[in-house]
């Protein structure tokens, strides 16, 4: 089976940096996803990590440590529009068709 | 491309009624999935399909049926609605083996279902 843990809520200040952590347990690792979901909307894909290390995409970066079962999403130069839930997810060992999502971290950006 | 579309956007059912939630995608994706999202529970997989004619159960399949007669469409049927099925339902698709990054899922806008 698969298990994912994320903090439920976080608050950060506009212009600052915030790190959202995710720990996971899976029987066969097949990568890790991060999705963003604004209130009342559908999730949208942010990143995919399958190798250890940091992947940078503009203001967003995602880090993975497979040996520790740990990932984080780093958001820099926070903007008010970054207020959203951030979902960590892992596919099962058989492939990408079965994905387990964490409960998500609700980030509030304050002025 | 419209991407992933879902109808209806909102629905209210009485206990025991049946209905079908529609999902369609125009990206020629092989993989399609249905999720439900409840407060504090995250997205949970109901059923998924890896191609036309092939479906399988996810984490919470009871009370739901699916079929996949075409690549484009993946309807979700509620057989006899119960209050526990009040939720937001999302359909998603990904390319699978048909090209493009198989891992990225595209989600529809969701159907908000209330069962009274």
Q: Encoding tokens for residue A53?
A: 């290390």
Mean pLDDT in residue range B62-81: 97
Confidence grade of residue A109 (pLDDT, cut at 50, 70, 90): very high
Rounded to the nearest 10°, the torsion over CA B32, B9, A33, A101 is: -90
Q: Is the pLDDT of residue A4 over 90?
A: yes
CA nearest to A101 within chain B: B43
Give the full edge-to-edge strand order of the sheet including B19-25. Answer: B4-7, B19-25, B76-78, B64-66
Mean pLDDT in residue range B52-77: 96
pLDDT at A98: 84
Contacts of residue A91 in chain B, CB cutoff 8 Å?
A: 103
Query: Coil, helix or strand for A82?
Result: helix
Q: Using one digit for the tens of pLDDT, what is the confidence trace for A16-72?
A: 999 999 999 988 888 899 999 999 999 999 999 999 999 999 999 999 999 999 999
Q: Using one digit for the tens of pLDDT, what is the confidence trace for B75-105?
A: 999 999 999 999 999 999 998 765 556 778 9
Least confident among A2-6, A56-60, B3-7, B79-83: A2-6
Q: Work out whether the CA dihedral A108, B59, B67, A93 comes out positive or negative.
A: positive
Number of H helices, E strands in chain A: 0, 11
Q: Is the pLDDT of residue B111 over 90?
A: yes
Which of A31, A43, A99 is closest, CB to CB, to B45? A99
CA distance A29 to chain B (A): 13
d(CA B33, CA B35): 7
From B69, B82, B78, B91, select the one nearest B5 (Cα to Cα): B91
The alpha carbon of A90 is separated from its chain's Cα centroid by a whole number of angstroms, namely 10
Contacts of residue A41 in chain B, CB cutoff 8 Å?
A: 109-110
**Length of chain B counted residue by residue:** 116
pLDDT at B40: 82
Residues B36 and B44 sit within 8 Å (Cβ to Cβ): yes
Mean pLDDT in residue range A62-83: 97
From A95, A102, A99, A104, select the one nearest A3 (Cα to Cα): A102
Q: Long-range CB contacts (< 8 A, 24+ apart) of B39-47?
A: B40/A103, B41/A103, B42/A87, B42/A101, B42/A102, B42/A103, B42/A104, B43/A43, B43/A87, B43/A89, B43/A101, B43/B90, B44/A101, B45/A98, B45/A99, B45/A100, B46/B76, B46/B89, B47/B76
Interface with chain B: mutation pick from A32, A43, A97, highest number of B CBs within 10 Å: A97
């Amino acid at each position: 089976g698969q298990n994912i843990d994320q903090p439920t809520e976080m608050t950060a200040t506009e212009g600052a940096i915030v790190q959202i952590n995710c720990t996971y347990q899976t029987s066969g690792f097949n990568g890790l996803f991060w999705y963003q979901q604004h209130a009342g909307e559908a999730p949208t894909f942010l990143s995919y990590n399958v190798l250890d290390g940091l992947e940078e995409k503009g203001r967003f970066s995602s880090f993975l440590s497979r040996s520790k079962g740990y990932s984080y999403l780093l958001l820099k130069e926070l903007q008010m529009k970054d207020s959203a839930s951030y979902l960590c997810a892992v596919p099962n060992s058989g492939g990408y068709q079965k994905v387990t999502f964490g409960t998500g971290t609700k980030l509030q950006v304050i002025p | 491309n419209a991407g992933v579309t879902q109808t209806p956007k909102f629905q209210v059912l009485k206990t025991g009624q049946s209905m079908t939630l529609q999902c369609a995608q125009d990206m020629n994706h092989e993989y399609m999935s249905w999720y439900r999202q409840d407060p504090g529970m995250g997205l949970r997989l109901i059923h998924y399909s890896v191609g036309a004619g092939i479906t399988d159960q996810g984490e919470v399949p009871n009370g739901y049926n699916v079929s996949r007669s075409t690549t484009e469409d993946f309807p979700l049927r509620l057989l006899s609605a119960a209050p526990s099925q009040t939720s937001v339902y999302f359909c998603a698709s990904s390319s699978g083996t048909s090209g493009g990054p198989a891992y990225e899922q595209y989600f529809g806008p969701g159907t908000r279902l209330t069962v009274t």
